[in-house]
Amino acid sequence: MELEETITKPLKKLINDLLMNLDILDLLSESQQQTDLNLNELELRKELVSVGKVISHNVTRLSLSASNKSKETENICKELSKILTYLVSIIGGLPNSTGDFVLKDLKVATCGILFDVSSLANSLLKESIQTVDERFRSSNFLIQTGIVWESAKIFEEIPLNARDSSCKKINATIELVTDAILEVCLKICTLFILNPLKVEEGLNNGGVGGDWEVDEDDVQEEEEFSEFERKIATKILILLKSSKLLMTKIIKVITNVDLSEIMLKKFSEMSIKEDGINLLRDKNNSDIFEDLSSYCQNISYKIDDSCCLLEAKFDKEELKLNLIQFWDAVGATFRVMKNESFYLEEKNWFELCESNFKKNFELVFSDLLISSVTR
C-alpha cells in the first residue's frame, strides 16, 4: 500500500490532470477551422507545456525513488506514452505563423519531458526484470513507447543558432537526448538475445506500433552466431544507427550555419585529407560547407556499409577494418568542426558530440577487446 500511495497514485493524478487538459484542447481544436491559433488556444497550449514541466519535475523525483517492483509500471508508462504522442502532435501541428519563441519553448520543454519520462521508464524496468519472458515483455513495451525516437524527431528540427539566447538551453537538451538515445539503445541490447536483424527491424519502425514479440524460431536460425557474438553485433548495429542520427544532425548544422566573414575565412584555409577527400577552398568560396556536408554524408555511407556486414554473415576482420576507418573519419570531422568553429557554443556542441560518441564507441569495443580502434 505504501508504494501505491507514494509512487503510483501521485503520478497517476498528474497524468490524469494533463489528460484532462488535453481533452479540453481537443474540443477547442475540433471547433476551429484551419486557421492560425487564436490567443486562447495558444495560451492553453502554453499552459499545457507548464503542466508538462510539473510532470517532468515529478517524474525526475519518482525515477530516483521508485520501487523496482511496481506492478503499475506498464500502466504508468502507457499513460505517459499518450502524453508524449500528443505533445509531439502539438508541435507538428503549429502553424508557420506561430512565433519562433513559442515554438522553441514548446520544443525544448517537450524534449525535457521526453528525457525525464525515459529515465523513469528505465528506472522502473531496470532491476525488476528477472526471467527471459519478463525481459521480452517489459522491453517490448519500452520500445513501443517510442520515447527515444520521438525525442530524436523533435531535436532534429531545432535549428542550432549559436547567437540565439536559447542556444545554451537547446544544447543542454541535445546533450540529454543524445545520452538517452544511446542509454536506451544499449539497454535494449542487454535485454534482448536476438539476431541483429530483429533489433534493426524494430528500430526502423521507430520503436512504435505493432507487437515486437520474440520468435523462438528466428533466434534458433542464427546459431552460426554465438550468444556473445549476437550481443556484440547488436550493440554495434545500434551504435551505428545512433551515430547516423548524430551525423544527420551535424549535416544540418553545417548546411544551416549563418556564415560570417571571419568564420568563412577560417574554413577556407582548412584542408582535410582523410579518406582521400581534400577540401581546400578560396576564401570567397561559400560552398565549403556543402563540401563538408558531403564529407559527413560519406561517413554516413560507411555506417550503412558496416550495417550490411552485420546483417550478412559478417567477416569479423572486415568489420573490424571497416569500423576503424569509420572511427577515423568521424574523428576527423569532429576535430575539424570543433577546432574551426568561431562561436563558443558551436565549439562546445561539437566537443559534446565527440565526447558522447567516443564514450559509447569505446563501451562497445571494450567487449570486443580491440582497443586499437579508439586509439
Enter the C-alpha cell of residue 303. 555506417
Closest CA to 154 of 77, 245, 81, 240: 245
Residue 288, pLDDT score: 47
Closest CA to 170 of 160, 179, 178: 160
Closest CA to 251 of 330, 364, 348: 330
- The amino acid occupying position 264 is L
Residue 136, pLDDT score: 41
Helix ranges (DSSP H) in 210-343: 216-220, 227-256, 261-268, 288-311, 316-340
Residue 178, pLDDT score: 46
Residue 145, pLDDT score: 42
Q: Give 327's contacts (C-beta < 8 A, 6+ positions apart).
A: 361, 373, 374
Residue 167, pLDDT score: 47
- The amino acid occupying position 182 is L
Helix ranges (DSSP H) in 66-99: 73-93
> What pTM was computed for the model?
0.34
Average pLDDT per run of 10 along the chain, which is 375 residues long?
44 50 48 46 56 55 50 56 56 52 54 53 47 43 44 48 46 48 42 38 38 39 50 56 56 49 44 40 44 60 64 63 69 66 60 67 54 38
